[in-house]
A and B are shown apart, each in its own frame.
Chain A
Amino acid sequence: MAKLRTLLAGAFAATLLAAPLAVPLAAPAFAQDEATMPNESWSFENPFGTFDLAAAQRGLQIYGQVCSNCHSLKFLHYRDLAGIGLTPEQIKAFAAQFTVPLGLDDQGNPKEGPALPASEFRSPYPNATAAAAVFNGAVPPDLSVMVNAREGGPNYVYGILTGFVNAPAGFKLQPGQYYNTMYPGHRIAMPPPLQDGTVQYTDGTKATLHQEAHDVVTFLAWAANPEMVERKQMGVRIVLFLIFMTGLTYAVKRKVWANVEH
């Protein structure tokens, strides 16, 4: 009976613990009325998942050729690309394509030059106001943490990229607005960025819309969580260690308490 009581107490504690965890799950996504969240399979999603580096590198190509015309990736440095498997030479060559501010020269004048591995990713517009002026007031958001910044994460971003269709009859769109099934309210200011064959993959992969969206989302998921692989690997070791230590501690506890009537 005492055991049963302990069990009940344990179950109760577990409920207490679990209930708050259930809350975010229970919270509905208000804005996404009829859109259904895609359920893509991602290389990085399960507890041991890593980034598909080939996909991430193709995603970098798409970011470079398509997204970067409007969207910044301002929290990344070119050196970070080592994380998706680029060699130092490749990083140097990739960075050198971009002209970025390089501080001041000897005369105190602002200096520009080819980016170095240590440079931040070049932003297409000097500031939000400049971007807003170009895009009719809609600022293309920075993509550094985009995958973390939306309910649904990678599936949401994938849904946006593949969600462009013709507006249903009678649906009013202002000039500069496009219809997107995923976007809350369906009026999005971003023109459809990807179609079949938007890029010519250097590794010969067939560039379907699905493939392109999948690759660029993989790249952006890495960009948002560059520590993920190291984190999970460390996590496995630490959790195993903690389970072992807890077991050991419990054995010692049993031993210490063996002679106590309680």
Chain B
Amino acid sequence: MAGLHQSEFDNPVIRWIDTRLPVFTMMQKEYGVFPTPKNFNYFWNFGALAMVVLIIMIVTGIFLAMNYQPNADLAFASVQHIMRDVNYGWLLRYTHQNGASMFFIVTYIHIFRGLYYGSYKSPRELLWMLGVVILIIMMATAFMGYVLPWGQMSYWGATVITNLFSAFPVVGSKIVTLLWGGFSVDNPTLNRFFALHYLLPFVLVGVIFLHVAALHITGSNNPLGIDVKSPQDTLPFHPYYTIKDSVGIGVFLTIFAIFIFFAPNYLGDPNNFIQANPMQTPADIVPEWYFLPFYAILRSVPDKLLGVCLMFGSLIIMFFLPWLDTSKVRSCRFRPLYRPTLFVWVLACLVLGACGAHKPEGIWVTLSRIGTLYYFAQFLVIMPILGKLERPLPLPESISHPVVGPRGGGPLPTGAAAKPMEKA
């Protein structure tokens, strides 16, 4: 039976709306009193940071689209028009351009947080998988966005990446023709990439909504990786985490602003200041920094199809982590053997990033092969085996009664007992 919602708000206007559409009750439940583990560290800021960047990207993007021309003859000049003639156009564009890099930095740290503290494990598998979907959509969006300024690297990057699909047998060349809207990267390609670049962020919003919805069903993981046992373990989201997230947002925006105002092209490629020229290939085609590890995986093997499969596989494999990891213990704090391997995996990603920036010659080929091997071994070999072999450290009884482990260090005289009851 349908019925009016019993609103607890006193303000008559809010109450009137809330009885008919309880959005205020929902916000209060999900972001006001929402019980959140009280032991988050600052790694738990990065989801909120990613949300902030997404909003910044959508807002700046909409205003850029009002002044941009998705036409192969006009695109490059229209970007210069934005930079020179549109009021604060340079600010919009540099924010959007550097925002892409910031989005990836924040998201990669967010993913690392999930890996380190085991946030992908039961019951958060679906939450994690939605996150992987978000990452893939983000990458597609960023790739197509980079094509829009129609510089040399836009054009040749698009040519190289779209050509990857031709590696697939039978359907490969058909897919490529479909992506291009013709027989080379040209005006139709730019048109469809612009349309998709405008569309995908809103798809992203939808998937992120599901990601957050799933989060609010399972509840957040925490640095100890143990379940919330009692209300003492949690704090209401507001004001504790709204203010903690605000600190992170302040630090993040400061770093972001330093890039925008003082080094706006530091992360960019000089070649993209040259208008796309199909007759002239740049000396070295490199993607943006955030794709470099994947680019290195792609080029680590001499076979095109295998390289493409490895590259896509490096993302697809993320979907299976909840089942590849056989350990019941979530947080790396209690996994003395697995913990260092995860750091080596991060190192492998960084090495792959460096490999992606260099021509695949000499030492870089060897390094990218070792990096690729370790990238996959981490998930396919180390994760399943270590989970069985490893003897995890004793887990704390609960978040509010943390056991002092060998690394936890020192006596905790004031202990958790002195803590006042939290109503949540």
Contacts and interface: CB of A to CB of B under 8 A. Distances in A.
B258 A75 contact: no
B261 interface: yes
A20 B105 contact: yes
A239 B252 CA distance: 11
Contact of A231 (B39, B90, B354, B419): B90
A39 interface: no
Nearest to B275: A142
B281 interface: no
Contact of B261 (A5, A30, A80, A232): A232
B109 A26 contact: no
Contacts of B230: none
Interface string A225-250: 01100011011101100110110011
B80 A75 contact: yes
A238 B261 contact: yes
Instruction: Report the contact-size class of chain B (Cβ under 8 Å from the partner).
Output: 35 or more
A104 interface: no
B250 A242 contact: yes
A151 B109 contact: no
Given A9-B41, A27-B357, A31-B283, A149 B271 contact: yes
A17 interface: yes
Contacts of A149: 270-271, 273-274
Contacts of B43: 9, 13
Contact of B292 (A1, A4, A6, A23): A23
Contact of A151 (B38, B247, B270): B270
Contacts of A234: 91, 261
A239 B254 contact: yes
A231 B109 contact: no
Given A75-B80, A149-B273, A149-B274, A184 B254 contact: no
Contact of B247 (A27, A231, A249): A249
Which of A74, A141, A235 has the most CB atoms of chain B within a 10 A radius of its CB?
A: A235
Contacts of B274: 141, 149
B283 A184 contact: yes
Contacts of A144: 80
Contact of A242 (B257, B292, B418): B257
Contacts of B273: 145-146, 148-149, 224
A75 B240 contact: no
B253 interface: yes
A206 interface: no
B283 A30 contact: yes
A249 B43 CA distance: 18
Contacts of A242: 250, 253-254, 257
B38 A260 contact: yes
A262 interface: yes
A20 B289 contact: yes
A245 B250 CA distance: 7
A231 B264 contact: yes
Given A232-B261, A239-B261, A243-B254, A1 B90 contact: no
Interface stretch (B52-60, B131-139, B370-378, B408-416): B408-416
A157 B420 CA distance: 67
Given A24-B357, A26-B354, A260 B419 contact: yes
Contacts of B270: 148-151, 153
Contact of A262 (B38, B77, B354): B38
Dominant secondary structure of chain B at its interface with chain A: helix
B284 A30 contact: yes
Contacts of B400: 261
B192 interface: no
B250 A249 contact: yes
Contact of A23 (B235, B244, B271, B353): B353
Interface string B386-424: 000000000000001000000111100011101110000
B340 to A, nearest CB: 13
Contacts of A13: 43, 109
Interface in B209-241: 235, 239-240
Nearest to B420: A259
B341 to A, nearest CB: 15
A1 B407 contact: yes
B67 interface: no
A249 B357 CA distance: 39
Nearest to B417: A261
B80 A21 contact: no
Interface string B78-97: 00110111000011001000
B105 A17 contact: yes
A31 B284 CA distance: 10
B207 to A, nearest CB: 24
A226 B239 CA distance: 44
Interface of A: 1-2, 4-6, 9-10, 13, 16-17, 19-21, 23-24, 26-28, 30-31, 47, 74-77, 80, 141, 144-146, 148-151, 153, 184, 224, 226-227, 231-232, 234-236, 238-239, 242-243, 245-246, 249-250, 252-253, 256-257, 259-262
* 5 nearest A-B residue pairs (beta carbon): A235-B261, A1-B409, A246-B250, A149-B273, A261-B419
17 contacts: A5-B407, A6-B42, A9-B43, A19-B350, A20-B101, A20-B289, A24-B267, A27-B358, A30-B284, A75-B80, A149-B270, A239-B254, A242-B254, A242-B257, A243-B254, A257-B243, A260-B235
Given A144-B80, A249-B246, 16 more contacts: A16-B108, A17-B255, A19-B353, A20-B105, A20-B292, A23-B353, A24-B289, A26-B354, A75-B80, A148-B270, A224-B273, A226-B84, A235-B257, A236-B261, A249-B243, A261-B400
